[in-house]
Amino acid sequence: MQKILFLLAIIGAVGIEGLAQTKKHFTVEGDESCERIHFSLKASSGTCEIRTRMGETPINIMGNHNEEFITSDFGEQMEGNTLHAWLNLKDNGKEGFGSKLSKIFGKKTTDSENYWNIYFTDYRPYILDLNYGVGKAYIDLSDIAVESCKITSGNAHVKVGYLSKIQNRMEMDTLIVSVDMGDVEIERLDLARAKNILAEVGFGNLTLDFDDQPQMPSDIWASVGAGSLTINLPIEDVPVIVRMKDTSYRKFKIPAGFEKVKENVFVSSSYSPNAQNVLTFNIDLSMGSVIFNNK
């Protein structure tokens, strides 16, 4: 009898929880006067997935959340030829301490109670500002035009990739990545075609993965506090120069074959200042680590 009552209690709790879930669907329609789309996402918690597909609808968002804990705010506004759109997922402060703590330590776990799918298309170029508090995020930017992109992780696990291995439709001016206590992985970074990459790591971890030879030069500026920065280079030799700011406390590793040309400056065997696809790293390392690997 006790087992039956316990089972009914579980079913009842699930039913109540299910009733608390709110499904949302937001869209941004195409406009001929629009030349670019500026999209801002601020997710205090939850699981957010960004994917790309063909179509005339620049932004399509489907999600569900518990309104008792999370408030969703979506809007759009035209300013000149730029369409500004935003989605804010704000914590109401009513969630229990234990639940919040589990999300902080379980940042790689999918949050089915606060889950969002965001779809971009090849309709217009995008300027992206993606800010994650705690939780999990996956960003696939295959085969769309991204003019610039900023990714911020407070204590979230964020993975960026080019799932279909199709590069950015345009040269990206600047990619900015800021990691506080979370971790960010960027796969196939060569497909982003980013001219400038700015990275800041506090106590967390950042991985920059180049899957193949880049087609254009990139300047990478990285500041690493107590966290770690890992750079994975393709097996095929890539022209690389690394300039390290001299620091007292550090863990710095470069692959075999790199040559020290002067104090705190290292180059790969194929490096030439005139190379069309040289990767230039300027690194300020404090107490953390910077590790270069050959894949």
Q: What is the pLDDT of residue 55?
A: 83
Average pLDDT of 33-55? 94
pLDDT at 109: 61
Q: What is the mean pLDDT of residues 256-277?
A: 93
Specify the pLDDT at position 54.
84
Looking at residue 290, what is its pLDDT? 96
Q: How large a percentage of the chain has pLDDT more than 90?
A: 71
Residue 15: its pLDDT value, please? 40
Q: Which of 21-35, 101-115, 211-225, 240-254 has the lowest mean pLDDT?
A: 101-115
pLDDT bracket for residue 21 (50, 70, 90): confident
Q: What is the pLDDT of residue 17?
A: 43
For the chain, the structural domain boundaries read 2-209
Top-confidence residue, 68 or 249: 68
Tell me the pLDDT tens digit for each residue of 226-240: 999 999 999 888 999
Residue by residue, DSSP assigns 1-42 as -HHHHHHHHHHHHHHHHHHHEEEEEEEE---TT--EEEEEEE
Q: Which residues does 65 contact at the CB level (< 8 Å), separation at least 6?
A: 21, 22, 24, 46, 72, 89, 113, 114, 115, 116
Distance from C-alpha of 133 to C-alpha of 129, rounded to nearest angstrom: 13
Both tokens assigned to 95: 């969630």
pLDDT digits (tens, 9 = 90+) for 188-200: 999 999 999 999 9
The mean predicted confidence, pLDDT, of the chain is: 87
- Where residue 18 falls among pLDDT bands split at 50, 70, 90? very low
Mean pLDDT, residues 142-147: 96
